[in-house]
C-alpha cells in the first residue's frame, strides 16, 4: 500500500496589515497587553467585498497545485477546513472549486468543521483516500476570514485581538518511497466543555444545550411559536450573542496538557522520540501555549516554527501557512521528520508525523 506525501504547498495572507496599535483605536487595549498575553504584534485582514474564505483558499490552492507539478484539472478531490465559511451552507469546498474553475470535472468536495484542528483532521481524512487508491491528487485547504465576525469593542477584545485571516493549501499524492510521507496521525475530541470556545449564535439549537446543561441563558426565543423559530433573535443582536466566546484560562490549561500528550502518542506509535523531530509546527493559537509545550517537550528554538507574531491565529490555516513558510525558508528538507499538532474548539486535538 502506498503512503501519502505532500507534493505541493502554498499559502496566502491578505495584504492589509492590522497592528495592535490599529486595534487600540477601537477598543481599550494596548500593544503591551496583547503581546504579553498572546505574542501577537500584527495580523492580516481581507479587503471586505473583495475577498472571502473560499477566494483566499483558492489563492493558496493555486500555488500548491503549481508546485505539485499538476494542473487544476488533475485535482480529483477537495477537502476544505474552516470555521468561517462564506455561507452557513453550502460549504466552502464547492465555492473554492468554482473559484478555481474546475466545476466541469465533477469532483467531490468535503468540508471539515474541526476549527483549530481542522487541517490535521483534514490531512488524516485525505491520507485515507490516497492510501486506499481512491484518489491520486487530493487538494487540502485550510482558510479563515475571522475579521468579518469579531466584536471590535472593549467587550470583545479578549477574543478579537487574537485572530487573523489567511489560507494554506497542500496537494497530497501517493508515494511508494519507503518511509516517506504521512507516517501516522492521532485524532481526539471531548465535547464536555464545547460552549467554552464557541460561536453559539446563530444556530439551530433553540436553547437545547443550555437547558440540558442547566445554564441560565435567555436567547430571546418566542416560546409561543409552534414552528418557524428564528436562528437569530433580537435579544441575540442586542446582547452581542452573535460573537465568539472563549474561556481563555480553561483553553490554555487544557491545551498545554493535550498538546504534549498527542505528540508523544504519535511518536510512540512510530517508535520515535522527541529528539527525532527535526521541526515542530504547532497550531498558532497563542505564543505562550506554543512556548509552554516547547519547554515541556524539551525542544530547542531551532526546531520550532512560530509565526503567530505576524499573522495572529488563523485557526485551520495556521499549520499549512507555517509549514509553507518553513519550507520556503529551507527549514524543511527531504528526509526531515516534521510534527504538526493542534488543539481547539470542541475540544478537539490532533497530531501527525510527516517524513518529508
Task: Reply yes or no on whether 313 is catalytic.
Answer: yes
Alpha-carbon torsion (194, 111, 324, 123), positive or negative: positive
C-alpha cell at 273: 522520540
Integer Cα distance of 119 and 109 in angstroms: 15
Query: Pick the catalytic residue: 116, 201, 324, 339?
Result: 116
**140: Cβ contacts below 8 Å, ≥ 6 apart:** 79, 80, 81, 119, 122, 123, 126, 169, 170, 171, 172, 320
User: Annotated catalytic residue: which of 20, 114, 283, 307?
Assistant: 283
Catalytic residue status for 114? no
Write the DSSP symbol of residue 202: S
The whole-angstrom separation of Cα 263 and Cα 245 is: 27
Which is catalytic among the residues 146, 313, 324, 339? 313
DSSP string, 142-193: EEE--TTS---SGGGHHHHTTB--EEEEEEEEEE-STT-EEEEEEEEE-GGG
CA dist 147 and 315 (Å) reads 12
Query: Is 209 among the catalytic positions?
Result: no
* Enzyme catalytic residues: 116, 283, 313
Amino acid at each position: 500500500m502506498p503512503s501519502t506525501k505532500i507534493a505541493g504547498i502554498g499559502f496566502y495572507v491578505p495584504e492589509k496589515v492590522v497592528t495592535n496599535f490599529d486595534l487600540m483605536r477601537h477598543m481599550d487595549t494596548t500593544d503591551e497587553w496583547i503581546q504579553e498575553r498572546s505574542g501577537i504584534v500584527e495580523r492580516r485582514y481581507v479587503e471586505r467585498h473583495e475577498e472571502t474564505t473560499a477566494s483566499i483558499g483558492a489563492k493558496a490552492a493555486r500555488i500548491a497545485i503549481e508546485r505539485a507539478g499538476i494542473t487544476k484539472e488533475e485535482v480529483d478531490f477537495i477537502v476544505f477546513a474552516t470555521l468561517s465559511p462564506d455561507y452557513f451552507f453550502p460549504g466552502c469546498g464547492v465555492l473554492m472549486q468554482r473559484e478555481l474553475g474546475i466545476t466541469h470535472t465533477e469532483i467531490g468536495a468535503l468540508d471539515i468543521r474541526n476549527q483549530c484542528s481542522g487541517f490535521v483532521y483534514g490531512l488524516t481524512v485525505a491520507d485515507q483516500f490516497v492510501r486506499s487508491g481512491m484518489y491520486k491528487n487530493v487538494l487540502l485547504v485550510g482558510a479563515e476570514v475571522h475579521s468579518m465576525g469579531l466584536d471590535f469593542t472593549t467587550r470583545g477584545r479578549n477574543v478579537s485581538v487574537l485572530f487573523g485571516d489567511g489560507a494554506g493549501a497542500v496537494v497530497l499524492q501517493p508515494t511508494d518511497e519507503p518511509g516517506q510521507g504521512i507516517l501516522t496521525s492521532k485524532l481526539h475530541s471531548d465535547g464536555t466543555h464545547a460552549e467554552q470556545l464557541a460561536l453559539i449564535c446563530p444556530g439551530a439549537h433553540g436553547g437545547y444545550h443550555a437547558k440540558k446543561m442547566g445554564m441560565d441563558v435567555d436567547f430571546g426565543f418566542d416560546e409561543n411559536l409552534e414552528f418557524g423559530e428564528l436562528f437569530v433573535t433580537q435579544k441575540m443582536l442586542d446582547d452581542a450573542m452573535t460573537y465568539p466566546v472563549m474561556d481563555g484560562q480553561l483553553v490554555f490549561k487544557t491545551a498545554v496538557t493535550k498538546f504534549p500528550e498527542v505528540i508523544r502518542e504519535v511518536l510512540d506509535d512510530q517508535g520515535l522520540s522527541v529528539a527525532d523531530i527535526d521541526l515542530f509546527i504547532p497550531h498558532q493559537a497563542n505564543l505562550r501555549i506554543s512556548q509552554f509545550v516547547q519547554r515541556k517537550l524539551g525542544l530547542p528554538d531551532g526546531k520550532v516554527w512560530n509565526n503567530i507574531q505576524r499573522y495572529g491565529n488563523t485557526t485551520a490555516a495556521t499549520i499549512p501557512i507555517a509549514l509553507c513558510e518553513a519550507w520556503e525558508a529551507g527549514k524543511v528538507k527531504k528526509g526531515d521528520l516534521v510534527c504538526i499538532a493542534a488543539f481547539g474548539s470542541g475540544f478537539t486535538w490532533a497530531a501527525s508525523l510527516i517524513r518529508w
